[in-house]
C-alpha cells in the first residue's frame, strides 16, 4: 500500500502539533513545517519515538521560495501530497486603531497570503495525487466581524471565500478544498487575548479536539459535498443563529454582547 502523506504548516505547537500527532498515529507520513526549529525538533522526536514517519523543515509561509523547496522535498518522499493543511496563523487582539499597522499587515500576510502561497504552490502536487484534500483553518471569528479581532476575523473571512472558490475550481481535478471552523482554542495564541467575545463565550476547545475533527473531515468524503466544518458546540450554535437571524439582530448581538 502507498503511504498517505500530510503537509502541515504552523506544526510546532497548538492545533498544528496536535494534528501532526493525530495523522502520525493513523499511519500518515507527516510533514511538519514552522518557523520554530526547537518546537519542530521536539515534535519530530516524539513522532519517531512512537514509530511514526516524519519530515520536518523550517517554513515561513509568506516566503514563496521556501514553499517551493519544502513541497518539492516533501513530495519526493512518497510521490504524493494527500492532504495539505494550511494551519499557520497569527493574531493580535485589541482595539483596531491601537494595534500597530505593521502588525496588522503581518497578520494579513501570514493568514491570507500564506494560504494563497501554499495552495498555489501545492496545486500541481495535489492535482497529481488522486483524492487529495486541502484543509484551511478558518475561525468562528469570521462568521460575523468581531470587535477587538477585526483584522484577524477579516483574514479568516478571506480564507472562507478562497476555500469556496477553490473547491469549485479544483473539483474537476478531484481535489477537495474544505475549511474547519473552531471557536476559541486553548493554545498559546489565545493565552494573552483581550477580547470581549472570549470573556463572554470562554475557551472550551483543546487542540486535540480540533485535530480529531480535522482528521475526520480530511479522510472521510461525505456523500453530499461539504465545504465548511463547524467544530465545537459553540461554533455550531453561533453559525446557526447568525444564518437564521436578521442582520440587524446579529449586529445587535455582536455589538452589545460580544463587544463590551
Q: Classify residue 219 by burial, with Cβ atoms within 10 Å: 0-12, 13-18, 19+.
A: middle
Instruction: Say how far apart CA 43 and CA 89 lie, in whole Å.
Output: 19
Average pLDDT over residues 154-165: 97
- Mean pLDDT score across all residues of the chain: 88
Catalytic sites, residue numbers: 152, 156
Residue 257 reports pLDDT greater than 50: no
pLDDT at res. 190: 53
- Whose cell is 503511504? That residue is 3
State what percent of residues in the chain have pLDDT above 70: 80
Whichever domain contains 137, its CATH number is 3.40.50.720
Q: How far is CA 49 from CA 28, 42, 87, 211, 258, in A?
A: 15, 11, 24, 20, 44
Q: Report pLDDT digits (tens) over 101-116.
A: 999 999 999 999 999 9
Q: Report pLDDT digits (tens) over 11-60.
A: 999 999 999 999 999 999 999 999 999 999 999 999 999 999 999 999 99
> Number of folded domains in the chain?
1
Residue 251 reports pLDDT greater than 90: no
Host domain of residue 53: 5-256
Give the confidence band of 182 by pLDDT, cuts at 50, 70, 90: confident
Amino acid at each position: 500500500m502507498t503511504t498517505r502523506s500530510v503537509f502541515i504548516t504552523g506544526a510546532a505547537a497548538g492545533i498544528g502539533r496536535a494534528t501532526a500527532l493525530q495523522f502520525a498515529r493513523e499511519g500518515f507520513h507527516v510533514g511538519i513545517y514552522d518557523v520554530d526549529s526547537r518546537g519542530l525538533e521536539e515534535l519530530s522526536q516524539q513522532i519517531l519515538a512512537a514509530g511514526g514517519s516524519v519530515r520536518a523543515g523550517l517554513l515561513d509561509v509568506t516566503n514563496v521560495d521556501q514553499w517551493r523547496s519544502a513541497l518539492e522535498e516533501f513530495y519526493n518522499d512518497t510521490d504524493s501530497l494527500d492532504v495539505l493543511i494550511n494551519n499557520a496563523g497569527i493574531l493580535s487582539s485589541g482595539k483596531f486603531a491601537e494595534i500597530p499597522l505593521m502588525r496588522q499587515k503581518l497578520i494579513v500576510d501570514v493568514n491570507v497570503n500564506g494560504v494563497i502561497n501554499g495552495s498555489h504552490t501545492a496545486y500541481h502536487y495535489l492535482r497529481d495525487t488522486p483524492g487529495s484534500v486541502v484543509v484551511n483553518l478558518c475561525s468562528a471569528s469570521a462568521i460575523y466581524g468581531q470587535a477587538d479581532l477585526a483584522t484577524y476575523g477579516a483574514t479568516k473571512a478571506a480564507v472562507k471565500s478562497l476555500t469556496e472558490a477553490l473547491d469549485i475550481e479544483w473539483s474537476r481535478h478531484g481535489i477537495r478544498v474544505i475549511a474547519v471552523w473552531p471557536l476559541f482554542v486553548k493554545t498559546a495564541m489565545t493565552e494573552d487575548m483581550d477580547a470581549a467575545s472570549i470573556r463572554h463565550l470562554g475557551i472550551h476547545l483543546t487542540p486535540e479536539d480540533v485535530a480529531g475533527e480535522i482528521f475526520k473531515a480530511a479522510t472521510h468524503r461525505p456523500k453530499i459535498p461539504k465545504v465548511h466544518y463547524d467544530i465545537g458546540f459553540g461554533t455550531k450554535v453561533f453559525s446557526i443563529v447568525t444564518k437564521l437571524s436578521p442582520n440587524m439582530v446579529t449586529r445587535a448581538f455582536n455589538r452589545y454582547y460580544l463587544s463590551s
